[in-house]
């Protein structure tokens, strides 16, 4: 048994030596060689070495970073305290009903954009979902459509433009609304206009006379989004969010 064991050890040593030399040649044995030391952080910038992989067309980066900082502080000091208060005083059943109601209104542009993208099956499913939740679900306060096998499928005009080949354009960080780009920002305006023109359940007209409805919708939307600024725990959170948004939109357009 000694000879086979010795042979295995010899082969292992030779392979280890071979891979060590190969690693030396391509740099994997010296990962810190090309990393810069940041005195402010008192550490080497590991993430900075891969930032090129996160590059997105962002000619307005200086302005976008200011808006990002504003959103960060507004979220921390205003938005989230309001959301926490809303969750505290609102019974779960009521909170769920409010979310379902506004989600049902959102299926109007979802159905339209599905049709514009020639997605026949998705258009039919979203339309059926809208009708079921508006009737059986009592104006959308409940969501029987999901239980009946018709899950929500989001489609917006930014995706529609991307479907027909419109480029994303420069990256934009929108006040309060967060990451976007030139194409998707235009899409937001179109979707907002569609909701107003369709005036489903007369909510758009009622909102013009009662701004508290719009405020409730904004608070509900922020309440249902789990993202929190700073949760990535990275000095390069801005770059990561920009990259994730860019890639996520490509996937949404392609599906």
Tell me which residue of 191, 194, 170, 192 sits closest to 182, measured CA to CA: 170
Per-residue pLDDT at 18: 44
The mean pLDDT of 188-206, rounded to a whole number, is: 95
Confidence tier at 233 by pLDDT (50, 70, 90): confident
According to DSSP, residue 47 is labeled G
- Rounded Cα gap, residues 64 and 246, in angstroms: 15
Segment 130-178, tens digit of pLDDT = 999 999 999 999 999 999 999 999 999 999 999 999 999 999 999 999 9
Question: Which tokens in the block code for residue 77?
Answer: 């000091």
The ranges assigned to domains in the chain are 59-104+156-254
pLDDT at 235 over 60: yes
Looking at residue 245, what is its pLDDT? 95
Angle, vertex CA 164, rays to CA 159 and CA 167, nearest 5? 70
Q: Are 140 and 134 in contact (CB under 8 A)?
A: yes
The per-residue pLDDT for range 19-49, each reduced to its tens digit, is 444 444 433 344 445 555 566 555 555 555 4
d(CA 34, CA 46): 10
- Spell out the alpha helix ranges (H) of the chain: 2-26, 61-74, 80-89, 92-116, 120-135, 144-147, 157-163, 182-198, 203-209, 211-224, 237-254
Terminal-residue alpha carbon distance, the chain: 59
| 228: its two tokens | 């929190």
CB count in 10 Å sphere of residue 49: 14
Query: How far is residue 148's CA from residue 97's CA, in Å, rounded to a whole number?
Result: 18
Give the range among 85-89, 119-123, 234-238 with minimum mean pLDDT: 234-238
* pLDDT of res. 47: 52
Average pLDDT over residues 239-254: 94
Q: Is the pLDDT of residue 53 over 90?
A: no
**pLDDT value at position 3?**
47
Query: How high is the pLDDT of residue 37?
Result: 57
β 178-181/171-174 pair status: antiparallel
| N residues, the chain | 255
pLDDT at 231: 87
Is the distance from CB of 161 to CB of 187 less than 8 angstroms?
yes
């Amino acid at each position: 048994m000694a000879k086979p064991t010795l042979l295995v050890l010899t082969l292992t040593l030779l392979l280890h030596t071979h891979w060590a030399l190969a690693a030396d040649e391509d740099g994997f044995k010296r990962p810190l060689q090309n990393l810069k030391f940041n005195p402010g952080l008192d550490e080497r910038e590991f993430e900075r070495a891969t930032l090129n992989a996160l590059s997105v067309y962002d000619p307005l980066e200086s302005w976008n970073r200011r808006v990002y900082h504003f959103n960060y502080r507004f979220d921390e000091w205003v938005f989230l305290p309001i959301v926490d208060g809303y969750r505290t005083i609102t019974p779960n059943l009521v909170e769920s009903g409010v979310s379902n109601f506004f989600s049902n209104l959102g299926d109007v542009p979802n159905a339209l954009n599905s049709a514009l993208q020639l997605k026949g099956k998705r258009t039919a499913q979203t339309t059926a979902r809208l009708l079921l939740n508006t009737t059986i679900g009592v104006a959308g306060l409940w969501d029987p459509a999901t239980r009946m096998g018709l899950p929500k499928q989001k489609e917006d005009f930014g995706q529609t433009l991307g479907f027909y080949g419109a480029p994303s354009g420069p990256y934009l960080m929108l006040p309060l609304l967060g990451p976007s780009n030139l194409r998707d920002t235009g899409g937001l305006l179109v979707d907002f206009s569609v909701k107003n023109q369709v005036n489903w359940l007369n909510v758009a007209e009622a909102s013009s006379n009662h701004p508290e409805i719009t405020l409730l919708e904004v608070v509900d939307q922020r309440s249902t989004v789990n993202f929190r600024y700073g949760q990535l725990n990275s000095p390069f959170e801005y770059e990561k969010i920009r990259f994730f948004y860019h890639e996520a939109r490509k996937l949404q357009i392609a599906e």
